[in-house]
Structure 1
Amino acid sequence: MSEIVMPPRDQFLREETIRGGMDLLFLSNTRHLRHADDTLAALGLGRAHHRIMYFVARQPGINVTALLAILGITKQSFGRVAKQLIAKGLMEQHTGDRDRRQRLLKLTPEGEKLEKAIFDNLHDNVARAYKAAGGEAVAGLWVVLQHLMGEEARVQFRAVQGL
């Protein structure tokens, strides 16, 4: 493995250090999701499908409104992707028992299997990186990412975490 590059000590607010951090976000996200992209592409799916499947797997029975808030997307973009997932037999949509206007989502057994296979690969990659970096660095990453996402998304993150 090549040497890990560290930012200049006490110069974390300089433009080049901030650009370096943004470079890291772009490059790590692209490389981290490469296997997932390949798996999804073989099924005619993409990252938007994966994001929906991921959060529906995290919260089976989630209503569409709550999912839209988590993902920060419109009903229109959700509808197109959800229709494809349903047509491929990966996700189901049901009306709520108490409120018939609610649309509740869950993955089918086939959708659960696909999401789990993708997650297992991503899990291994993140676990490897966490182990190499150590607990203090992981805690720092969590702090930085929560500050990047802003208050509205932090509320969503806490909800997904069950907090």
Structure 2
Amino acid sequence: MADVNFSQGAKQGQPANSMEIPIDLIELLFFAYRDFTADPDAALAEFGFGRAHHRVLHFVSRNPGLRVTDLLAILKITKQSLARVLKQLVEEGYILQEPGPQDRRERLLFATAKGEQLAARLTDLQAQRIRRALAAMPAESHDIARQFLYHMIDPDQRGDVARLIDRPAQTRVSP
């Protein structure tokens, strides 16, 4: 695909000038997201879950003991939206909620073994797609793709996102 030029005459797929709309990249992002989420969507449908369940399960499994308030900030969703999804994941045994050690009102989230297993399955589906795409690209493409996606994030959010994704996966600290 590297030799395919999507932007009507612009050199190397870049807009001819900074004012030109990069419609090729906009549409490629739509299609890439559609396909990136399609594999997990199919797996989630087996359980009656959707993308919101996937996002919650992903961040909770990667961050054992994550506070509900921190998850709300990561996902940028309402308490009401999270409550519905979280209730289902807890009731079906994918996530545990525990009170905080200092503040019993604080709720800490942990993926159960069942939740970890589903999260790993979904992550593997998406990792396979990313590995296939990167294998078709030059060696430095991982770093370039990472930089591009990082710069798509609002500047005031980049530091928080970098800290979140650059942490090694935590080990489980609760049952």
Normalising by structure 2, report the TM-score: 0.83
Match of 1:114 in 2: 118
Name the Cα RMSD after superposition.
Answer: 2.0
Instruction: Map residues 43-54 of structure 1 onto 2, 5 A cutoff.
Output: 43-54=47-58
Displacement, 1:151? 2.2
- 1:32 and 2:31 are equivalent in the alignment: no
Distance 2:131 2:162 in 1: 21
Native 8 Å contact 2:2 2:137 kept in 1? no
2:135 maps to amino acid? K
Displacement, 1:130? 1.6
Displacement, 1:15? 3.6
Provide the secondary structure at the position in 1 that maps to 2:98: strand
Q: Say which one has the larger Rg.
A: 2
Match of 2:171 in 1: none
Instruction: Map residues 74-153 of structure 1 onto 2, 5 A cutoff.
Output: 74-153=78-157
Higher helix share: 1
- 1:5 and 2:4 are equivalent in the alignment: yes
Displacement, 1:57? 1.1
Matched positions, count: 161
Match of 2:160 in 1: 156
Which shifted more, 129-138 or 95-104? 129-138
The 1:84/1:132 distance shift into structure 2, 3 A limit, reads same
Distance 1:47 1:156 in 2: 22
Displacement, 1:124? 1.3
The 1:4/1:83 distance shift into structure 2, 3 A limit, reads farther
Distance 1:120 1:31 in 2: 14
Displacement, 1:156? 2.6
Distance 1:25 1:63 in 2: 31
Normalising by structure 1, report the TM-score: 0.89
Distance 2:41 2:81 in 1: 19
Distance 1:158 1:3 in 2: 28
Native 8 Å contact 1:70 1:153 kept in 2? no
Which shifted more, 114-123 or 132-141? 132-141
Native 8 Å contact 1:69 1:156 kept in 2? no
